Structures are given as structure tokens and as C-alpha cells.
Structure 1
Amino acid sequence: MDSCPGEEGMALAIPPLRQSEKFHLFVSYSSMDAAWTHMLISRLEATHAGLRVCLHQRDFTPGRNVLENIADCIHQSQKVLLVLSQDFVQSRWCLLEADLSLFGYCLERKPVIPVLLRPCQVPLHLSHLTYLEATDSRFYNKVVQLLCTPNHRLARSLPGLRPVPSLYSGKTLLTLNCINRDILPSWKVGTFSTLSIPDPLKEVLEDPEVYKHAVGILNGVQSPRSCLRYLGCRIVLGIFLILLAMLSVFLIVVSGLDQENPGGSVFHIATVSVFVCLLFVVLAVNSLCWFRRFSKRKMQELVLRVGEANQLLARHSVLLGCETMNKLYFVFVLLEDCRRAFLQAPDGEALFQEALLRFSSAYACCLVHAHFPLCEDAAGAQGHLELGLCFCQFVSLQLKKTGGSG
């Protein structure tokens, strides 16, 4: 399987193009991976005379709509190669090309060859595909093998492909950054786009209005409005209060020395000076720390709003999580078994909704990071997930930690 038939001692036979085909291979990649992709294509074209590879910068028709160029070039190609990386996943054009290639594959049985250049979170609509690893020592030979194999035989000749993990309970679907995250101050609550549902969520959220409603709940959280939200203002106020304390002490000492019997008021001067100094120092420190406490309360408010959104999303096996004010995590998690566990108690549905409100954000973040700080306390307890803690276990541990009751 190292090479296609006839590789030993003779040139490889690239399948001839049919009448409706112009290219042997359409390559979809991120601009960040252009150097690696061009090196691979140059090697293929230099080794195999007559190989026609479609690259957008040289083969797209100038003046035509980009969508028409992509669709036509995929349609006119024998095979499609996807260079997968996190940059590819985050590129809307690359994802569009991937969608069109899969559409063409479904209609014409056009082979799609995913190449994993760097580890990445593969979108759900690509997760059923298998891929070649660019780090494999036999990677180039395997690519050549696929190119040499006619399409009707390719399904029986795929060399050592490994399936991407399928959708499972606890899988991270999407990390969503707020609008203008790179220029957003740390004290400001992010605003998240509701124009359209992101591609990774379309597999599980069929109704876009559910997504828009859930994210709209979070967008209702207002940013702090006090001028103390700025670090510069807090520092200036703190310095002013410290200087005011020093001035007050100085004035007290001077006024004490003006008395006829200064020795008798030394204790009084020292006491007042220490009191005034401590008072202003405490005010200065309070001013510096005020915004941190305010931000913590604002974060608690945002977590509660995430809980409200999760009360809507949980019906669709999706939970939201947030650890900062400008980033959201979407996790696919099956909660029906946990819900039935809650329903065994009186007012079980109300308890389940309260648990979603209070604990679902933290639970989603634990699933994202695959880390449960209290999981050793649940050793031996039966849960509803094969890996990690199920939601009802997590809620039980949180209540135990805070001394609450379920």
C-alpha cells in the first residue's frame, strides 16, 4: 500500500480526466498553511507530469463570484483535498469549500481526502470523514496512492485512515468570542453576534431562534459604568488619598507643636495621626480593589444569565459555559438521564431548572477543560457519562462543597 500499482520502476499512472473534468485535484486550505500546501503541490506536479491541481490564486476565473468559482472548480475536479488545521476551521471560506466538496461527494461520490496538518477541533459536519496525518513518515506515498487510484476503486484502497471522534456527550462544539474581542477592555462585558447560528451548532440546534434567544439573554448584561472601571482612575484616586493622609498627619503635628505645652499632647497627636493615616490608606486600598469586587459581581450576574440561557438550550442537548466576560463555550451533553434522576425527588423539575440556573455554566466549563476538581470525591458513584462526571453528580458535589442541600 506504499504506492499504487506500477510504482516500482515506472512512472505512476494518474487517472485520465473525463470530459467534464479540468483538474485531478481541488485543494482547499487556509492562507496560514499556504507555504506547506504549495510545497506539497509543487512536489506532486514535479513528480507527476500532467497532474492538474486547482489552486484558487491561479485557477479561479477573474471577475467571477467567489462562490461560483469554488462550486465550479470542485465540480470540475476528480478529487478534493482538505488541509485541516485550526486556521482552516476558523476560516469561513475554507469551511464553505468543505461544505461544497461534501455536497459534491454526496451527489457524485467524489472522494474527499482530509489531511490533518495540525491538531484542531474538526467541525461536526466534517467529523464523519477520515484523514491522513501530515506527520506520518509515509504520508506522501499515501497521497500519491490516493491520486493514482480511480475514484470507483478508492473506497476500497484508503491507506490506514483513522476516524475522527464522532459526536459524544461532553464534546465541545464551539468556542465563541465576543465581537471585537481583541480591542475589548477587560472590564467590559462582551457582546455576542446573533446574526446567524455558527456552523458547528447547526447539527444540534435546528431552530436558529433558540440560539438567538439564548445569546440575547447574555447580551442583556450591562458593562460597569463607573469611572473607577479604569485602572488609571483608581490609581490616581489611591495616590490622592495617600497624599491627603500624609497632609492631614502633617497638619496635626504642626498644630500640636504650636501649643504652649506640646509635651502633654504628644500621645493625642500620635493617636490622631495614626487614625487618620490608616483611614486614608484603607480608603485608598478600597478604591484600588473596588472594581475587582464589582467585576466579580458582574461575572456572577453573567453566570446566572448563562444559566437562564441553558434552561433553553438543555432541551437541545447543548450547554453554555463562561469563565470570562468575553468568551463562551458550547458543549454537547445529554442530560435526559440526569433530568430523570432529579424527577425522582419532590418538585424534581423545579430542582432541575434551579440546578441549570446555578451550576450549568461551571459544569460546561469542566467538560470543556476535561477537568473536575472534585471528581475524586465521586469515586465509585454511578454516573451517566463514560468519562467525567454527569450533571447530577456535579450538582451533588457542589452542594456538598457549599454546605447546601439538594
Structure 2
Amino acid sequence: MDTLPDIPVPDLGKDDKYHVFISYSSGDSIWVSGLIFQLEKTFPSLKICFHERDFVPGKTILDNMVQCIQSSQKTLMVLSPDFVRSRWCLFEANLSMFQDCMLHKAIVPIMLKPCPVPLYLSHLTYLDADDEKFFDKLCHVLLNSNNEVAPSSLIHFQSSLLYSGKTLLTLTAVNEEGESWEPAIFSSAPVPDALKALVDNPRIYKDAIEIINDVSPPKSCIRHTAVKVILCIIYSLLASFFFVLYIALSITSWNINNSYPNLAFAVFLPIAVVAVFLIPTQFVKIACWKKRTIKKISEEMIKKTCEANLLLSDISVLVGYSRSQLFFVYVKLHDCMETFQISFGHDNVLATNMWKKSISAYSSEYACCLARKHFPSRSADPPGHLKEGICFCQYTAMKLKNRD
């Protein structure tokens, strides 16, 4: 805290009048006033814009806000239930007016009071007003250029259209450090902050996670290392025993009857089969058990994840499973549903069933592709409903085409 006054205040650009515009609800004005006083006392040359002092009389609130955002380097939003109900609603209701100027301005979200984080900010790591180092962190963001600030703390505005296909959350299994062949288990409560803007009913999230967690672990005794070692020893002893027995009986047969080749082949063939084929097969089975089990568990996890997407798709969320992680992505599916209805008939049971089958078969893989920004092919047939990438109906068509 003692070193903060030594941080230089950045110069204003030729089109900038302020370093930061603070947007907040009138219900939080006392806290904001205290913050502004502290900032201006610590950094006298820092130019702060806020509506109670700097809005131009005679202009509408919208015009004032647009002008202040355009003339400021950064926009600081003080999040609270009052802000979401009033000021953020004003942003959302007039996106066409705010979008252009906010696309070129960085946003700094501050969580003053717990509230649902607006969708366009839900992927950000906000600054917590209750953090002991809150003021230091805020100063670091405000006094450094946008290029020097971590993207998780500072980002440009994104409209819902641009936001479609973006990753909201990567959730790691609670048993990540367990055996690789165990089914992944994920926490179902509480709803992560990154999803609260979309998940109004916590039960939806909980039910979805419970579906994904409903994968039974393998019951084979081979899963235990001690059992594998014992079986390998037993099979090795059996192989040695059969080999010695085969040699001993062969020698005995040779001494009894000079027609050794014919007699030995007829009498000792079963022993040779056991020694040469069955025992090595069991060795291979033990050696490959882990790999086959991991593949089987992964397929079952993907299947359950697709089943969970039947719930989550109604709130424009899809989840993908890969390597003990869940990738939650926000994706607008309405246009893709319309394509299914056009293809199979409006208000048709067939269209609904085909949509559910597609979600059940391909939604997990599709969500992973969105999260990784990598698709198996870029040659999807138009039209597409996703600005950057392949939409779900295109992906489904690609999978069906490749299967044929």
C-alpha cells in the first residue's frame, strides 16, 4: 500500500478525457463516493468520471453514459443486486447504442455485493470488494495499460452474438488425483459463479451433475495391483509347469515308442494349446485391462454428459467431458433447433426426437470442440449459426456424413 503513490498515472490519449468511468447504482453511492475519495487522494492526477458530478445537464442518461464511456480509457462497473436490476438492465436494453463504444473500451468488474453476474461478464474474474488487497489490485488495473493487465481481470465488452460459443467454466473432478480408471466425480453444489448468470434454478445444475456422476466404477478384481501381481505369478508358474510337463512326457514317449512325432502330437496337443495360447492371452488381458477400462469409462462419461445436456441446453449451456474435466460453454441453440424443425417439419414429433437424439449423441464432443476452438473439419456446409466456428446443426451433419 505504501508503494502505490509511486505508480505513475498513465497519460490520457487524444480522444480520452478520463482514465476511468465508474458505473454504479444510486443505492451504492456511499461506498462508491468513499472509493473515489480514496483514489483521488492517493492519485491526484487520476481523472475519474461518475454521473453525480460529471453528467452534462440537459442530456439524457443514455447519451451521458455513451459519451462518458467513449471519453474514458476504462469502465469500472460496481456489481450489486441494485446495479443488475437498474443500471445493467439499462445497458442490456440499449445494447445497440452501447455496443460500439464498449467494444473498444476495457471493463473492470467489482463485486460489491453478491449478485448474479451479467452474462457478458460471467467469464471474468471480478475484483472482490471484501478482499484485503482490493484497493491494491484495483490500482494495478487502473494504472496499467490494457496490454499489461491479465485478461481474466480486464476484457472488452462482448455482445450475446459474439459471446455465443465462448467457454464459461472448466470444472475439474474432485477425484482428479485418484486412479485413472475411476469414473470422474464432480461437485454439484453450489452453482459456480461463472454459471449463475444463466442457471436461475440451482436444481438444474445439481441434476445435471448428478447425471454425469452416475457412472459405476469397474468391479473387476484386476483393478487391484496385488491381484495383477498374483495372477501373473500364477500364470508364469502354470506356463513353466506345462512346459516342463510337456518336455518330460515327450521324453517318456520317445523312450516307449520310436514313433514319437505322431504320438506326441496327438497326446500333448491340449497341453501345447494351454501353454502357448491361453496363458499368453491372459497375460495380454491383464496388461491391457487398464487401457480398455479407461476407454470404456470415458465413453460412459461422455454418454452421461450428453444426457445432462438435455437439461442444460434449455438454458443455452452445453457441457463436454474430456480427461476428468467438464467444459461448460454458452451457445445459442435456437437457430439450430429451427433448422431441425425445417428439416423434419414444424411442430413435428420427429423433429423433436431427432433434436434430442443429436444432443444425446454429439453434444459433449461438440462442447469440447467449442472449448478448445478446434473442430475436426472446417468444411461445414452453410448456413451456419455461429460467427466463429461451426454451429451444432452443422456439426451434427458432419458427424452423420462421416458415419455414412
The alpha-carbon deviation at position 45 of structure 1 amounts to 4.0
> Within 5 A, what are the aligned runs for 1:56-205?
76-78=34-36, 102-103=79-80, 106=83, 124-125=121-122, 127=124, 143=143, 163=156, 165=158, 168-181=163-176, 183-205=177-199
Contact 1:102 1:112 in 2 (8 A): no
Match of 1:218 in 2: 212
Q: 1:232 to 1:267 in 2, by over 3 A?
A: same
The yes-or-no answer on 1:382 pairing with 2:377 is no
State whether structure 2 residue 277 is matched by structure 1 residue 284.
Answer: no
Name the residue aligned to 1:355. Answer: 358
Does the aligned pair in 1 maintain the 2:122–2:168 contact within 8 Å?
no
Distance in 2 (alpha carbons) for counterparts of 1:180 and 1:397: 34
The percentage of counterpart residues that share the same residue type is: 31
Q: Normalised by the size of structure 1, how large is the TM-score?
A: 0.61
Contact 2:180 2:294 in 1 (8 A): no
Measure how far apart 1:318 and its partner are. Answer: 0.2
Q: Distance in 1 between matches of 2:328 and 2:82?
A: 29
Partners of 2:123 and 2:168 within 8 A in 1: no
Show the counterpart of 2:338. 340
Evaluate the alpha carbon distance shift between residue 242 and residue 216 of structure 1 in structure 2; reply closer, same or farther with a 3 A threshold. Answer: same
Which residue of structure 1 lines up, in the alignment, with residue 295 of structure 2? 296
- Quote the Cα distance in structure 2 between the aligned partners of 1:114 and 1:205: 20
2:370 equivalent in structure 1:
367
Q: Secondary structure at the match of 2:183?
A: coil
> Is the Cα–Cα contact under 8 Å of residues 127 and 165 in structure 1 kept in the other structure?
no
- Contact kept, 8 Å, 2:170 with 2:327, in 1: the verdict is yes
Q: CA deviation at 1:171?
A: 0.5
Tell me how far 1:244 sits from its aligned partner.
1.9
The SS at the match of 2:388 is: coil
Residue 249 of structure 1 deviates from its aligned partner by: 1.7
Give the distance between the partners of 2:329 and 2:383, measured in 1 at CA.
22
Question: Cα RMSD between the aligned structures?
Answer: 3.9
Question: Match for 2:35: what amino acid?
Answer: S
Segments of 5+ residues of structure 2 without an aligned counterpart are 9-29, 40-75, 88-105, 111-118, 128-138, 147-153
State yes or no: 1:261 paired with 2:225.
Answer: no
Task: Give the superposition deviation at 1:123.
Answer: 8.8
Q: What is the deviation of 1:319? A: 0.3
Distance 1:142 1:200 in 2: 24
Q: 1:200 to 1:140 in 2, by over 3 A?
A: closer
Tell me what 1:248 maps to.
242
Does the Cα contact within 8 Å between 2:337 and 2:355 map onto a contact in 1?
Answer: yes
How much has 1:273 moved relative to structure 2?
A: 5.8
1:224 and 1:367, CA in 2 relative to 1: closer, same or farther beyond 3 A?
Answer: same
What amino acid sits opposite 1:227 in the alignment?
A: C
Q: 1:334 to 1:145 in 2, by over 3 A?
A: closer
Q: Does the 8 A contact of 1:218 with 1:306 survive in 2?
A: yes
Q: Contact 2:123–2:167 at 8 Å: present in 1 too?
A: no
Match of 1:149 in 2: none
The 1:228–1:366 alpha-carbon spacing in structure 2 relative to 1, beyond 3 Å, is same
Change (3 A) 1:339 1:100: closer
> Is this contact kept in 1: 2:204–2:311, CA < 8 A?
yes
Residue 127 of structure 1 and its aligned partner are, at CA, apart by 4.7
SS state of the match for residue 223, structure 1?
Answer: coil
CA gap of 1:169–1:141, structure 2 versus 1, over 3 A, is closer
1:398 matches 2:394: no
Partner of 2:59: none
State the distance in 2 between where 1:364 and 1:43 align.
45
1:104/1:243 Cα in 2 relative to 1: closer, same or farther (>3 Å)? same
The separation in 1 between residues aligned to 2:284 and 2:77, in whole angstroms, is 59
**Structure 2 CA distance for partners of 1:287 and 1:75, relative to 1, 3 Å:** farther
Task: Return 5+ residue gaps in structure 1 as ranges.
Answer: 1-40, 49-71, 81-98, 116-121, 131-138, 147-160
Contact kept in structure 2, 1:172 and 1:330, CA below 8 Å: yes
Summarize deviations over 1:104-138 as a string: whole Å, max 9, x none.
9959x9x98579xxxxxx993475999xxxxxxxx
Give the drift of 1:309.
0.8
Deviations 1:61-92 (Å, cap 9, x if unpaired)? xxxxxxxxxxx998853368xxxxxxxxxxxx
Cα pair 2:164 2:332 within 8 Å, conserved = yes
CA distance in 2, matches of 1:128, 1:193: 20
Residue identity matched to 2:121 = L
> Structure 1 residue 201: deviation in Å?
0.2
2:181–2:293 contact (8 Å) kept in structure 1 = no
| Inter-partner Cα distance in structure 2 for 1:141 and 1:289 | 52
**Aligned residue pair count:** 288
Contact 2:312-2:318 within 8 A present in 1 as well? yes
Distance in 2, matches of 1:141 and 1:358, equals 44
Cα displacement (A) at 1:279? 1.8
- Preserved CA contact (<8 Å) 1:128 1:166: no
After TM superposition, give the deviation of residue 192 of structure 1 in Å.
1.6
Q: Give the letter aligned to residue 175 of structure 1.
A: T
